[in-house]
Amino acid sequence: MDSATERAPGDEALLGAAADGIARLNQRYGRAPDCDRFILLHRRRVWNVSEGKWIGWERKRGKLHELNRLLRGATDTNLPGRRRSRAGRASAVRYVITLDADTRLPHGVARRLVGKMAHRLNRPTLDRARSA
């Protein structure tokens, strides 16, 4: 949440609870071949001059931008290293589904989404003749 200070009371307790929940998910569903199957990515707050408070950089757009940078190998994101240290190689990530707190994802929908993305007709191609 936005804050008047970089660190707010309750931050560490909330992150600890989230980390415990992620650990339980990894224990329940097991590790992926090269990394934890579930990882916690929590960005630190940065000062926003226009809003006059500490917030996550660029809110939603910034979260997705930093996640994509992290997956491409960036090490200078606002995602604290200790929380992503066991994320494994970014090249091992095949699919990412991002959910907001108000998103409803019915049982089985994620599996169907991945199935559609994995279908050979849905793979991206590059038309080299047009890109020249």
Q: Is residue 48 part of a domain?
A: yes
Rounded Cα–Cα distance for residues 102 and 48 (Å): 25
pLDDT per residue as tens, the chain (132 positions): 788 888 889 989 998 999 999 899 989 988 777 777 787 878 788 888 888 888 877 767 777 888 888 887 777 877 655 444 455 556 567 777 877 778 888 999 988 988 888 888 887 777 777 655
Q: Is residue 43 part of a domain?
A: yes
Q: Is residue 57 part of a domain?
A: yes
Q: Is residue 2 part of a domain?
A: no
Rounded Cα–Cα distance for residues 98 and 62 (Å): 13
For residue 53, the cross-strand partners are 48
Q: Which residue range(s) make up the domain with 17?
A: 11-100
Q: Is residue 69 part of a domain?
A: yes
pLDDT of 20 reads: 94
How many domains does one find in the chain? 1
Q: Is residue 18 part of a domain?
A: yes
Q: Is residue 110 part of a domain?
A: no
Q: Is residue 63 part of a domain?
A: yes
Supply the pTM of this predicted model.
0.60
